[in-house]
Amino acid sequence: MNRAPNQPPLTSVELNHAIVYARDPQRSAEFTATILGLKVGAPFGPFLPVDLGNGVTLDYYEMTDEPIRSQHYAFLVPDEQFDAMIARPEAAGVTYYADPSHSEPGSTNTLFGGRGASFDDPDGHNMEIMTRPYTRR
């Protein structure tokens, strides 16, 4: 791949935001923010943001005229907050699973020495919380 002169190295690339399609952005943003122990921000144009701890924003956007395709969002969370976070979907009547394919209901995983679980948000997006990043070879 050819790179333009004076272009910063690729290691400086960071994810800034992701648009999350939702039937009811307020409901979906509140759901995610509640699970993660965060707050929903003030609307920004047509978007309803949930600011994550690393400068990335999930921008919820209303989609009513097309089916919403499920996306996967994985969140690295502090180990000491995992138990409280995993209790929140259950309290909301949402089943959590040990894996993103949802084959082990009511269970968590211990991948890479951490803990993790997956659950669906109100629009069917697959949300994952984990206390250790997955190691790549």
Residue 3: is its pLDDT beyond 70? no
Residue 54: DSSP 8-state: T
Tell whether the torsion through CA atoms of 50, 90, 70 and 133 is positive or negative. positive
Instruction: Please state the pTM of the whole predicted model.
Output: 0.87
Residue 8 is given by DSSP the state P
To the nearest whole number, what is the mean pLDDT of the chain? 92
Which tens digits make up the pLDDT trace of 12-44? 788 999 999 999 999 999 999 999 999 999 999
* Span 83-93, average pLDDT: 94
Which of the following CATH numbers is that of domain 16-130: 3.30.390.50, 3.40.50.300, 1.10.600.10, 3.10.180.10? 3.10.180.10
Give Cα 74 to chain centroid, integer Å. 5
Over the stretch 58-71, which tens digit does the pLDDT of each residue have? 999 999 999 999 99
Does residue 1 carry a pLDDT above 60?
no
DSSP state of 137: -
Residue 86 dihedral angles phi and psi, to the nearest 5°: -75, -20
Summarize the confidence of residues 104-131 as an average pLDDT: 95
Across residues 42-63, what is the average pLDDT? Answer: 96
Amino acid letter, 73: Y
In the chain, the largest separation of any two C-alpha atoms, in whole Å, equals: 54
The answer to whether 9 and 38 are in contact (CB under 8 A) is: no
Distance CA 24, CA 16 (A): 23
pLDDT of 85 higher than 70: yes
Are the CB atoms for 42 and 96 separated by under 8 Å? no
